[in-house]
A = this chain, B = another copy of it.
Amino acid sequence: MENGEIPENANEHCPGPQSETAGQSDACQGCPNQQVCATAPKGPDPDLVAIAERMATVKHKILVLSGKGGVGKSTFSAQLAFALAAMDFQVGLLDIDICGPSIPKMLGLEGQEIHQSNLGWSPVYVESNLGVMSIGFMLPHPDEAVVWRGPRKNSLIKQFLKDVYWGELDFLVVDAPPGTSDEHISIVQYLDATGIDGAIIVTTPQQVSLIDVRKEVSFCKKVGVKVLGVVENMSGLSQPVMDFKFLRITETGEQRDATEWVTEYVREKAPELLNMIAFSEVFDSSGGGAEKMSKEMGVPFLGKIPLDPKLCKAAEDGRSCFTGPNCGLSAAALKRIIEKYVENEGLSKMLIDDNA
């Protein structure tokens, strides 16, 4: 990476287009870029210099990653941004999931557009201290598929880093797509010189999800990004008993709604159930879940968030799960996780200093 971006179609041991031997080393024989590399001017990528300038006003950069999709990564990124903003930090949220941007929806910003000023692209603001940038704001039609191969995605990510005017930020939270491919290589490479605090990795307790998280941790180690911690999301469903619907199975095997009847029946016969919480593991976590995996891989475990219809609803509605009535069991869990992260990284000091 020190020698600039290696082209997509380069030979295996490409010395890098910025290298002294670009286009002239043994590895360059037969490479389609050989001629271009041999003749191109050498030196650092001017875009990386522009990115470093933009990022000079950003104190902390956090990537939110997941191995698999659908584990609640964007929900976590959104709620992390809401929580940090509620602590009075200046927060930016950058969505680099080019093919499936969920962030506009989750921040309640659907249909918003990006404006341009002489300082650059302006983020869309939820609050004065919470700005958001996503390709979602640029699509003329929300149903339209973004059918882009890697290089085009990379170039938009570069532009986001280079051209967005965030101003002074305490935190830039970057919501990445699942996996370890173009977007991930690019964001790490582009931010390399300016420093990344590290990555928070979101997973579910399922083995299939944990397999991919291990890959994500190994990716972080490979590219030198610190793992700030692992979050286990959808750790079972936890819900007051009386929030469920109840179904009775008829003799013919059909399911009939019996919720009203059950409510009455429980009130009369078994009132102690009214205040109970019912819990279902949903995903098998007999393998020890993310906590055990974190220990095995030597990375911090930040905590578990239960599957909670109230959190899902907050995400659908594009609002913080911490505000409003009935903020649910998951909000408390999320809050503990964010506090743990802030404490682990010694950021509470910053909060105190700033407020002093």
A interface residues with partner B (beta carbon < 8 Å): 7-9, 32-33, 35-36, 67-71, 74, 99-100, 102, 105-106, 142-151, 153, 177-182, 184-185, 204, 206-209, 211-212, 214-219, 222-223, 237-239, 241, 243-249, 255, 258, 262, 265-266, 269-270, 272-273, 275-284, 297, 307, 309, 312-313, 315-316
A272-B265 in contact (CB<8A): yes
Q: How far is the CA of A239 from the CA of B213 in the complex (A)?
A: 29
Q: How far is the CA of A269 from the CA of B273 in the complex (A)?
A: 11
B102-A211 in contact (CB<8A): yes
Q: How far is the CA of A181 from the CA of B8 in the complex (A)?
A: 15
**16 residue pairs A–B, Cβ–Cβ below 8 Å:** A69-B69, A70-B70, A70-B71, A70-B209, A99-B179, A99-B180, A143-B214, A146-B180, A147-B181, A237-B280, A244-B278, A244-B279, A246-B279, A249-B275, A266-B270, A284-B316
In the complex, which residue of chain B has the Cβ closest to the Cβ of A287?
B316
B145-A279 in contact (CB<8A): no
Contact of A247 among B69, B100, B255, B277 (CB under 8 A): B277
B248-A275 in contact (CB<8A): yes
Q: How far is the CA of A143 from the CA of B158 in the complex (A)?
A: 29
Q: Is the interface of A mostly helix, strand, loop or mixed?
A: mixed
A181-B148 in contact (CB<8A): yes
Known: A8-B150, A248-B276. A142 touches B258 (CB 8 A): no
Contact of A246 among B180, B217, B276 (CB under 8 A): B276
Q: How far is the CA of A74 from the CA of B68 in the complex (A)?
A: 11
B215-A144 in contact (CB<8A): yes
In the complex, which residue of chain B has the Cβ closest to the Cβ of A293?
B143
Q: How far is the CA of A246 from the CA of B185 in the complex (A)?
A: 45
Known: A207-B105, A208-B315, A211-B102. A282 touches B265 (CB 8 A): no
List of 7 A-B pairs having minimum Cβ-Cβ separation, nearest first: A69-B69, A70-B70, A150-B150, A145-B219, A99-B179, A143-B214, A270-B270
Q: Shortest CB–CB separation between residue A191 and chain B, in angstroms?
A: 16
Contact of A208 among B9, B102, B209 (CB under 8 A): B102
- Work out how many copies of this chain go into the complex: 2
Task: List residues of chain B with CB within 8 A of the CB of A282.
Answer: 237, 307, 309, 312
Task: List residues of chain B with CB within 8 A of the CB of A142.
Answer: 211, 214
Kindly name the residue among A209, A222, A282, A307 whose own CB sees the greatest number of chain B CB atoms within 10 A.
A282
Q: How far is the CA of A149 from the CA of B6 in the complex (A)?
A: 11
Contact of A8 among B9, B102, B184 (CB under 8 A): B9
Given A7-B32, A283-B316, 19 new contacts (CB under 8 A): A8-B9, A8-B149, A8-B150, A32-B36, A68-B100, A69-B71, A99-B180, A106-B208, A143-B297, A145-B216, A145-B219, A146-B215, A147-B184, A149-B150, A149-B181, A207-B316, A243-B280, A278-B278, A280-B309
In the complex, which residue of chain B has the Cβ closest to the Cβ of A219?
B145
Q: How far is the CA of A255 from the CA of B33 in the complex (A)?
A: 63
Task: List residues of chain B with CB within 8 A of the CB of A270.
Answer: 265-266, 269-270, 273
Task: List residues of chain B with CB within 8 A of the CB of A105.
Answer: 207-208, 211
